[in-house]
Amino acid sequence: MRFAAEPAFVLHTRPWRESSLLVEVLAAEHGRLGLVARGVHGPKRHLLRAALQPLQFIRFDAVQRGELATLSAAEALDAAPRLVGDAMLAGFYLNELTMRLAPRGDPQPELFEAYRLARLRLGSAESLAWTLRRFERDLLDALGFGFDWSSDGEGLPVDAAARYRLDPENGPRRLLADRGHGDRRSAATGRALLALGADVLPVDEDLISLRRPMREVLAFHLGARGLKSWEMLGELARVSPSD
């Protein structure tokens, strides 16, 4: 298969052999792809190396004959957002989550658009916690794992005043009033679920309540091996507000 002028976002790059790179990208038309960039360490290859940095938006040419495609050309299409501190860690999280859950070679136009928007928001003044929760929601939707955020697992309307756990397979499950405090701390408010479904920024208390339930859903789909970024972010608690 040949890829010609394929738009993509760079998710991850690592050295391979003496002068090459293995590059994971999220391509507009072909989903997640693995690329081999050969001979990138020469003195005249600095533009190519710069284009293959994580979060960079590129256009590339490649030929695929096996699991990996061999890169023949790549150029940056814009300037990647300059992220520092918590925003940089949030960008690492976006990339790692996408790499782990998006299958290779499966076109994902909705995920590509969700990633584009999240990348744009990382460089803005938008709450990092809200940016990540929206991306998690959109990623689950794109991969077929999403929920109806306005109804619980039994088909009843979500009650704004109640609290809910997120069942990875069945969606919101309302907590009974007699459950212990531990369950409530790991549950989302109904207001938060309704706001997430409507794409309306919730108040801080409700936004904070989404973090742990969303992580539990993602952990279910990730399997036994978690994310390095969860460790780096201290369970995302460093991303304001309490992400």
pLDDT in tens, 63-111: 998 899 999 999 999 998 999 988 999 999 999 999 999 999 999 999 9
Same domain membership, residue 164 and residue 72: no
CATH no. for residue 201? 1.20.1440.120
CATH number, domain at 65?
Answer: 2.40.50.140
Q: What is the pLDDT of residue 125?
A: 86
Q: Are 65 and 90 members of one domain? A: no
Per-residue confidence at 234, pLDDT binned at 50, 70, 90? low
Give me the DSSP letters along the chain: -EEEEEEEEEEEEEEETTTEEEEEEEETTTEEEEEEE-STTSTT-HHHHHHTSTT-EEEEEEEESSSSEEEEEEEESSPPP---HHHHHHHHHHHHHHHHHSPBT---HHHHHHHHHHHHHHTSSS-HHHHHHHHHHHHHHHTT----TTB-TTSPBPPTTSEEEEETTTEEEEPPTTS-HHHHHTSEEHHHHHHHHHT-PPPHHHHHHHHHHHHHHHHHHH-SS--HHHHHTTTTTTSTTT-
21 and 123 share one domain: no
Is residue 238 a part of any domain in this protein?
no
Boundary-marking domain end, from 76, 101, 117? 76
pTM: 0.90
Choosing from 57, 76, 95, the residue where a domain stops is 76
Does residue 183 lie within any of the structural domains?
yes
**Structural domain boundaries, residue 139:** 85-232
In a domain, 237, yes or no: no
Whether 236 shows a pLDDT value over 70: the answer reads no
Number of domains in the chain: 2
Tell me, yes or no, whether 63 lies in a domain.
Answer: yes
Same domain, 141 and 177: yes
pLDDT tens sequence across 6-19: 999 999 999 888 78
